[in-house]
Chain A
Amino acid sequence: MKDKNTRISLCAMGALIGMLAMPAVQADPAPLEERLQLCGGCHNPDGNSVIAENPKLAGLNAKYLQRQLEDFKAGKRKNAIMDSIIPMVEESEFKALAKYFSEQKRLPGSLAVVEPVAADPSAPAAAGALSEQAKAELIAKGQQIYMEGVMASAVPACGGCHGEDGTGNDKFPYIGSQNNVYVVNQLTNFKTGARDNDPKGVMRAVAKRMTDEEITAVAEFIQTLKEAQ
């Protein structure tokens, strides 16, 4: 898992260095189709990123997306990778980009291509089954947090704001089926205050009450959420 992620992010970094080497680092408005090639490299052309660190943008509220882009531009939200991309994009393009991604259909699950691990004939047959079980337990724990919260530490149920299927609304972003590593990163950043652009401060209040174990568990569960039919 870790290996795969590092490998994919290395690819992304490679692409990034390539892009930065281009002469056009100065913001220059580009037609949407052209601009989408840049975003698509990391977020997928349809906004369903297959890289666990990169968020799916598909289906997110347009105003939310636009505000995030503005915040990256203004330095109110920080991320090494997006910070290097955002100078290339003109502020006047944000609206169209946000509209485009908000209109894409979010696809469920992790779409990251999992490369088959070479079968090791000497490995005990139970090993795979055991880790499957551990994962199922983690997801069940995450589901409990998502649906009921943690009463002892007053963590409110995520579903209360983001919706039981995670689709959110105009005030609470769509987090259902979001990539697990991205969710862990955001919750950790809200917890430490490294991300502090939530206008009402409620997400920081939620994350501050969570343990690292709870964050991992809830992120695993969120990735399994599907839009209610």
Chain B
Amino acid sequence: MKKLLSIIIVALFSVQASVVLAEGASKPKVYGKKGYVWDEMTPERTQVLKMGGDPVKGKESFRGCQGCHKADAAGVTEGVYPRLTGQHASVLIKQITEIRAGIRQNPKMLPFVEDPAISVEEIGDIAAYLNTLTTVRENGKGAEDMSAKGKKLYTDNKCSRCHGVNGEGDAAKAYPMLSAQHYDYLIREMKWIRQGVRGNSHPEMVKAISKFSQADFEAVASYLSRLPDYRTVTAAVPAAK
């Protein structure tokens, strides 16, 4: 018993262990469970944001991710692995830390991003690196071009409120960029966000897509996947929102 106590005391002095204890104290609060607050900061995310990131180191660390997201970080056209190029660093950090904390569910990827596969510092480095990349490779767009219907749904449901008029997202609020993302990935995420299985749904987004049919999901994904990477169109962004 004494031994156990001393082990606990030693563990408390280790920074890593203290983070684990702080987070492990209660089960992660996921969407649909009591106490869930969208965008609640985890201690780790606060830490990463404070540390910032080094894109040169991030390129090195990203090597452990290439086996799925590919060397150019553009993912696969089937949408199984999303493209990460150009995504806002704030969004990447939110997603990775929430996956590590068990808020967003991603069992396929977890062993490769959880501690000790990558360190807290590497999260910021990788996010900084990915944000510098532009997508050049063709993304998955779905068979049929349903952009017109998709654009109408996107406008009518005010998705641009969070994701921007060009699907560029919002770095300051950690709303993801959606443009030029793979079609199948977009559909899957919208469904998982609505069903709550993703774990980190924004309640207002759930409301916005609550009445979407399969055809609506396909049309919106068709539209968004055909939008160019926002950084290639910034000059053309209209002033009016």
Contacts and interface: CB of A to CB of B under 8 A. Distances in A.
- Chain B binding site: helix, strand, loop or mixed by DSSP? loop
Interface in A62-79: none
B108 A154 contact: yes
Contacts of A201: 111, 116-117
Interface in B128-161: none
A172 B67 contact: no
Interface string A124-146: 00000000000000000000000
Interface residues of B, number: 18
B204 interface: no
A202 B68 contact: no
A200 B111 CA distance: 9
Interface residues of A, number: 19
Interface in B53-67: 63-67
Nearest to B109: A154
B68 A160 contact: yes
Interface string B87-115: 00000000000000000000011011000
Contacts of A161: 63-64, 66-67
B117 A200 contact: yes
A204 B112 CA distance: 11
Contacts of A199: 116
B49 interface: no
A149 B66 contact: no
A205 B110 CA distance: 10
A156 interface: yes
Interface in A146-174: 149, 151, 154, 156-161, 169, 171-172
Contact of B117 (A151, A172, A202): A202
B78 interface: yes
B116 A154 contact: no
The 6 A-B pairs with the shortest beta carbon distances in the complex, nearest first, are A156-B67, A160-B67, A160-B66, A205-B111, A154-B108, A157-B67
B76 interface: yes
A161 to B, nearest CB: 6
B19 interface: no
23 contacts: A149-B67, A149-B68, A151-B76, A151-B78, A151-B81, A154-B68, A154-B108, A157-B66, A157-B67, A157-B68, A158-B67, A159-B67, A160-B63, A160-B65, A161-B67, A171-B63, A200-B117, A201-B111, A201-B116, A201-B117, A202-B111, A202-B112, A204-B111
